[in-house]
């Protein structure tokens, strides 16, 4: 039997997430400023032995998203939310999304390093590259860069941040009352990092955490983004809607990791999924239909518009989607790629879209999951689907996108986790106190990656 174990994370995104109608679900909590809500969610994930709570980020207000309660309509500082979760858990990892485009390496290193220390070595940094006019308007001192150059700068930010984390050897902190030596200065180095975009002298004012440094996560899917992930990431977050695409991405990332001089087994693909669990198959399907009924058409069109960089608002929902793309899109390929993906999804479910999709139909289909695969069925059927992709080496684990928050985590924990444990693919107890130790089965020893 393989020793591989599934990685499981819960996506802490609200009031909507990959399902745009999440906050309207009758079982969804709605006070997203109540720390107790997130404490309860974290306890549920830890009780079920999840690897991580995954916290996304956005840096600009979107009026349409706020109007309809879509993703990130309410957005706390991820590091503050992480500290809430760390305070009520002892084993659960905490993935913190912070932009490498708008945050300086020293600030990143100290903020994440402090969280990693206070959590006992359970923090991960989800590295994102941010751009767009609304975001730049909030950070006028940051130079606007094109996508490729964003990743060039990102390489330097990560390299400098890791250098700061590595500036202390693991035994540099002496604290010897007899000799009066608190820190051995010979075991603290000054990185003095000088790049094209980033300069930082250092060293950091913190020793290493129990896991050495935060785990690195990445999600970029462009060729340059994948190269970045192959170089740096230990976990790569993916949204793909079929097994072949997941396997191809996983294989490509492993290849890129090897080309970067890394062990391919050191990089894991964690795929977003949206489980819809019912006591029976019929109940699960009914719940899936009910979720679709919660989607407001105008909200769905606003949601779609954001992701294809095309403003479809104001058009009739009955407009043929291809015609809507031609009428409004400044990036037609984005809309065409979306339509192709929807056709592929429909072909996989035995449906036909040859009659032509309307704008409203496309928007609702997209807003139901944002191409996050819906895993629908009884607990054993959901486990079957998750285990199949894992054992077929298409994925290394999953990030659960809840249909209602935070109750969907509890549903999965009670119904599906025991099925995964019975099949021997998911832990019954944590193996280590650190996130890196739990996901890799190894402990940090020397302060170097």
Q: Which DSSP string do the residues of 40-53 spell out, in sequence order?
A: HHHHHHHHTT-SEE
How much is the pLDDT for 148? Answer: 86
- Which amino acids are annotated as binding site, given as ranges? 97, 151, 222
Which residues make up each annotated binding site for FMN?
97, 151, 222
Residue 310: predicted pLDDT: 84
- Which pLDDT value is given to residue 17? 84
Question: What is the percent of the chain where pLDDT is above 90?
Answer: 77
Confidence at 256, pLDDT banded by 50, 70, 90: very high
Neighbour count for residue 443 (Cβ, 10 Å): 14
Report the alpha-carbon distance of residue 300 to residue 359 in Å, rounded.
10
Out of 63-67, 78-82, 233-237, pick the least confident.
63-67
Mean pLDDT taken over the chain: 91
Confidence of residue 100 (pLDDT cuts 50, 70, 90): very high
Mean pLDDT of 112-134: 96
pLDDT digits (tens, 9 = 90+) for 189-206: 999 999 999 999 999 999
Assign domain 7-165+200-278+378-440 to its CATH architecture.
Alpha-Beta Barrel (3.20)
pLDDT band at 160 (very low <50, low <70, confident <90, very high): very high
Phi/psi of residue 134, nearest 5 degrees: -60, -35
Residues 373-409: pLDDT tens digits?
A: 999 999 999 999 999 999 999 999 999 999 999 999 9
Encode pLDDT of 25-52 as tens digits: 999 998 999 999 999 999 999 999 999 9
pLDDT of residue 345 exceeding 80, the answer is no
Is-contact 86 119, C-beta < 8 A?
yes
CATH 3.20.20.30 placement within the chain: 7-165+200-278+378-440
> In this structure, are residues 435 and 215 in contact, taking their beta carbons and an 8 Å threshold?
yes
β-bridge partners, 11: 54
67 CA to centre of own chain: 24
- Rounded to whole angstroms, the Cα distance separating 85 from 82 reads 5
Q: What is the pLDDT of residue 353?
A: 46
In 229-380, DSSP assigns E strands to 235-238, 268-277, 374-377
End-to-end CA distance of the chain: 29
In contact, 237 and 10? CB cutoff 8 Å: no
């Amino acid at each position: 039997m393989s020793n591989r174990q599934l990685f499981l994370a819960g996506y802490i995104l609200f009031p909507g997430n990959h399902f745009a109608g999440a906050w309207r679900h009758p079982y969804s909590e709605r006070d997203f400023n109540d720390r107790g809500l997130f404490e309860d969610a974290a306890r549920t994930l830890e009780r079920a032995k999840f690897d991580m709570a995954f916290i996304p980020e956005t840096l600009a207000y979107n009026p349409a998203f706020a109007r309809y309660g879509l993703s990130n309509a309410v957005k706390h500082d991820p590091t503050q939310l992480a500290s809430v979760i760390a305070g009520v858990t002892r084993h659960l990892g905490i993935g913190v999304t912070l932009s490498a485009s708008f945050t300086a390496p020293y600030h990143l290193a100290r903020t994440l390093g402090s969280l990693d220390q206070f959590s006992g070595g359970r923090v991960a940094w989800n590295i994102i590259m941010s751009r767009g006019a609304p975001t730049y308007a909030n950070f006028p001192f940051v130079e606007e860069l094109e996508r490729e150059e964003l990743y060039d700068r990102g390489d330097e930010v990560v390299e400098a941040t890791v250098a700061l984390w590595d500036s202390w050897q693991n035994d540099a902190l002496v604290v010897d009352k007899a000799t009066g030596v608190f820190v051995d200065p010979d075991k603290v180095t000054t990185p003095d990092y000088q790049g094209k975009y980033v300069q930082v002298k250092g060293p950091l004012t913190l020793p290493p955490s129990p896991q050495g440094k935060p785990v690195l996560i990445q999600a970029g899917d462009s060729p340059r983004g994948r190269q970045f992930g192959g170089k740096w990431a230990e976990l790569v977050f993916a949204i793909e809607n079929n097994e072949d695409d997941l396997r191809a991405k996983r294989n490509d990332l492993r290849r890129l990791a090897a080309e970067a001089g890394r062990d391919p087994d050191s990089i894991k693909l964690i795929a977003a999924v949206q489980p819809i669990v019912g006591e029976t198959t019929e109940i699960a399907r009914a719940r899936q239909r009910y979720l679709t009924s919660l989607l407001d058409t105008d909200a769905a069109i606003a949601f779609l518009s954001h992701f294809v960089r095309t403003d479809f608002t104001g058009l009739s929902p009955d407009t043929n989607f291809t015609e809507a793309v031609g009428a409004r899109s400044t990036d037609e390929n984005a809309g065409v790629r979306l339509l192709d993906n929807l056709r592929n999804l429909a072909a996989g479910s035995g449906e036909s879209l040859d009659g032509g999709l309307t704008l409203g139909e496309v928007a609702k289909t997209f807003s139901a999951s944002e191409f996050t695969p819906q895993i629908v069925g009884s607990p054993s059927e959901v486990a079957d689907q998750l285990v199949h992709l894992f054992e077929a080496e298409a994925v290394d684990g999953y990030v659960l996108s809840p249909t209602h928050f935070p109750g969907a985590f509890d549903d999965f924990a009670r119904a599906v986790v025991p099925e995964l444990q019975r099949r021997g693919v998911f832990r019954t107890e944590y193996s280590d106190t650190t996130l890196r130790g739990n996901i890799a089965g190894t402990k940090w020893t020397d302060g170097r990656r």
